[in-house]
Structure 1
Amino acid sequence: MTDPITLDELRDLAETKGVLEAIVMPQNGGYTVHVPQDRGERLLISKDGTVIVFATYEEAIAELDRTGVPETMITHAQASDASSHDTSASARRIAESLEYDDWVRERVDEAFQDEALGLSDWKSHEEVWENVRAETERMIAERDAAKGAGTKPASKKKGGV
């Protein structure tokens, strides 16, 4: 997966000369900024984790200038370059990954809110595994008993289905 980069990280890299190039790529409806590094191409994101899409090429250049990336280090990729870089697929993977990350964080936040309201019942890791072992032993015993009686074990249905 491509690793995203924030404006603050890009600014820090520009100050230390850690950025050798920034590529402004045309995307549907705007331009994105990609920063090639040793560990792969990094896509510019905002602090909230969303991919930054600039309305115009000039806006992207102006933001990079404010960030400290000199114009001599900026490459304007043509639409044909974008397909050879497969950056749209890369940007899509990053966006999907960031959306999933947001989804997981929301679920965790909801769980903590439920706990604060007394709506959740947290169990320790050991307790959960003890329950799994007990249920497994029960199912094995049921299977073995059914084998001895020549019948199939009863299936345990959940949720009334």
Structure 2
Amino acid sequence: MRTLALLAGAAVVFTLTGCGTSDQPRTAQPHTTTPAASAAASPTGTVTPPTAGATTRPTTAPPGAPTTGCPATAETLLAALRAPGSDVDTRAAHPAALHQVSCHERFAVASTVPDGQHQPSRIVFGYDAASTTWRPLNLGSSGFCAGYVPDHLAANLAGCTS
């Protein structure tokens, strides 16, 4: 009797888990990615650097919105640099202009225009498809993309590899 009850219980579990065959194709389920693979947008729309051990859901663009921000202009990136919510503009000494823009997929790099008072630097930006905006991620003259841009994408951005 116990064997019969056990088999009946297993049949119910088997049926409920969908382990049978179906003529209908399975739909892809959302998946999580480890932040070590890429910079990620938070639920508030801000782009943050990867954190070890955490997982994030990939952002999805609204219908009809571009999935990358490329091509990006120096003016667009300068506006993103000056937007509230980031300290990169202050760290870059509030540059008057950007130039030498390099853009690939959802990342861009631009250089500050020398002003004779501050050392020029490069700024890496990430594109948030959900809000269709660019966000400044980091700046520097070397190694500034590390931890923000995956290596396979960094190779396509001027100055992003060290």
Taking structure 1 as the reference length, the TM-score comes to: 0.24
- The structure that has the greater radius of gyration is 1
Structure with the largest fraction of strand: 2
Structure with the largest fraction of helix: 1
Taking structure 2 as the reference length, the TM-score comes to: 0.24
